A and B are shown apart, each in its own frame.
Chain A
């Protein structure tokens, strides 16, 4: 399956070509190149998935295929960084997800970004992002993953800051980059920690279940926590940064400053699930050697899911609602992984988490593209400028409704199946966890329908010009993804992606499914009562719980806390003294050296007078001096 290399290389070539030619290309040509390349690699990925899942199964277990493997840098006898391609169920699934969403976004952007300044640059960055993300998922070792991990961060930074003349976009881009970079420090330290003891970076070796690899970690502990827990916990911090887990989630809502298709691709479907993918990739290690970290991941995920869902209920910017919804759903995936065991029925959570990743990518991209379509037609993000748009945007309305039903967990849409599996896994882990997650699922249904009714129903707002349905290039991705959302749930996912790569039949747990559907339907009815027509209930509720409402609208003041810690504590009491030291000690030493040299040279420059006799005189004196020294000492 050597052709999988093309899947990686084509976007890179496309990035280089678009990047170098830039404005020498007509926007249409640039868009065509970007979309065509994505089309080709989408087909290739589908073919890869088909070939992999058909021919690479031995006795019911999918094998790991490594079509390409090059040693790149060798450090020690054991430790070397390789580059290669690793195909296993999760990476093949990610290839399909990334190329599909990226292809759709490329097509969508042809219309959405039409006439924007820097259209070619936009397409170059999209290709760069696709290249990095694909490289991340097919990485054979943790270091290769780290390299692409950073590349993904850079392309995200570039795309958030695409409107670089807008100060808020620049600030958001910097915020996203700094927060994730800060988390990646934990990731790097974790990698070094892990590789120091295991003497390998290779995923194949790490996840092979061979206990001798981890033999040297036995008995290693630091501050009362075992060495492996430290390593895996630090690696998870990297994943938490990219996947916007509390308290590192602050960058994601601001990242909505980027163009909407970018939000759909990077900040909903692909990059933000990199953390989930990382945990899934190292899952056997977490499960056996750091189970308490895995449980920690479950609790962090659950808290984040709840926290973000509550905030999503009161936000008024539609993209921010979707952003918090994304954070909440990623929380679901993390919980799925956290509560999972390894193999067979125990590995339900793992399978469910990957399933949810797959379906969520599709319907969340659909939601964002739908929101983009709305924003494109009325040029505003705010919920209170919308209402009654269903007459003007019929396609957007229907597809958005499908996505909302999917995320709310209504059968037969895809979200129902994946979310239900996660809930079953949670109930198996502990009833409290299951109940909490069911409650959050209800909240999800509520805030999504609040958004839906807010945009498409309710009181009509006056617009500068009549809103119009989007062009074909924007409508097609909506319909395509909606089709995916409707049918993806019926994929027998357990036959493809499981924790031990063996076949496993999913059985719906009808009690869990019944409860969650009932709660979702109740929430939707509640949202319908409150938001379908103009009503005083939301206002009353808001004034009733004014404290909670205010805190949630301010996103529980997390950003303010960050600002306080950085500006008031770190900048004031750490950075300022260091800056003083830098200026008055280090710089002063350097300046002192320079000025001493200058002073000396001014003093001695008169020796070079050009007067030959003076030179000869000095020479003579020197000779006499040396002669005297030789003679008398």
Chain B
């Protein structure tokens, strides 16, 4: 009941943030493995990245208050994730133009 009390009184404990990020991360993994649509896989990857970002911020905030490395790392990660998404979308569009499909199961031409 301590956690609930703390939350109600405005004190959010670190476990709550980590719980959210854990759920996001595994949702991402699950989505990555089970979704067949490339776009949905991309969304799953973003989900995992964001979970990691939350971890950075939270650990910085709770373990090393007054320092900024974790925040900056999170900012960099967000910027890079944006670029990566742009590239991934471009690739997916090209795949769609060539195959008229974005099903991941059909993309095994490059194994040899």
Contacts and interface: CB of A to CB of B under 8 A. Distances in A.
Asked if chains A and B come from one complex, the reply is yes
Interface of A: 608-613, 616-617, 620
A617 B33 contact: yes
B111 A610 contact: yes
A7 to B, nearest CB: 66
A609 B104 CA distance: 12
B63 interface: no
Contact of A612 (B29, B104, B109): B104
A13 B13 CA distance: 95
Given A611-B105, A613-B104, A620 B110 contact: no
9 contacts: A610-B107, A610-B108, A610-B111, A611-B105, A612-B104, A613-B32, A613-B104, A616-B33, A617-B33
B111 A608 contact: yes
A610 B32 contact: no
Contacts of B104: 611-613
A611 B106 CA distance: 8
A610 B109 contact: yes
Contact of B108 (A609, A616, A617, A620): A609
Interface in B3-37: 29, 32-33
B46 to A, nearest CB: 15
A55 B41 CA distance: 101
Contact of A616 (B32, B105, B107, B111): B32
A42 B69 CA distance: 94
Contacts of B111: 608-610
Interface of B: 29, 32-33, 41, 104-105, 107-111
Contacts of A612: 104, 107
A608 B108 CA distance: 10
Nearest to A608: B111
A617 B104 CA distance: 14
A617 B111 CA distance: 17
Given A610-B107, A610-B108, A613-B33, 5 more contacts: A609-B108, A610-B111, A612-B104, A617-B33, A620-B33
A-B pairs with the 6 shortest C-beta distances? A610-B108, A610-B111, A608-B111, A613-B33, A617-B33, A611-B108
A626 to B, nearest CB: 16
Contacts of A609: 108, 111
A553 to B, nearest CB: 74
B107 A620 contact: no
Contacts of B110: 610
A609 B105 CA distance: 10
B48 to A, nearest CB: 11
B74 to A, nearest CB: 23
Contacts of A613: 32-33, 41, 104
Contacts of A610: 107-111
Contacts of B29: 620
Contacts of A617: 33
Contacts of A620: 29, 33
A311 B33 CA distance: 94
Contacts of B105: 611
Contacts of B41: 613
A369 B33 CA distance: 93
A616 B111 CA distance: 15
A617 B33 CA distance: 7
A615 to B, nearest CB: 10
A620 B107 CA distance: 20
A329 B97 CA distance: 95
A604 B108 CA distance: 17
A608 B110 CA distance: 10
A603 B82 CA distance: 41
A259 B41 CA distance: 85
A616 B29 CA distance: 9
Contacts of B32: 613, 616
A608 B104 CA distance: 15
B52 to A, nearest CB: 15
A411 to B, nearest CB: 92
A76 B86 CA distance: 71
B24 to A, nearest CB: 16
A245 to B, nearest CB: 68
A613 B32 CA distance: 7
A35 to B, nearest CB: 66
Nearest to B110: A610
A630 B109 CA distance: 37
A129 to B, nearest CB: 58
A612 B32 CA distance: 10
A217 B110 CA distance: 74
B95 to A, nearest CB: 12
A285 B33 CA distance: 88
Nearest to A613: B33
Contacts of A611: 104-105, 108
A590 B52 CA distance: 52
A608 B111 CA distance: 7
B36 to A, nearest CB: 8
A616 B32 CA distance: 8
Contacts of B107: 610, 612
B12 to A, nearest CB: 28
A217 B23 CA distance: 90
A502 to B, nearest CB: 85
A611 B111 CA distance: 8
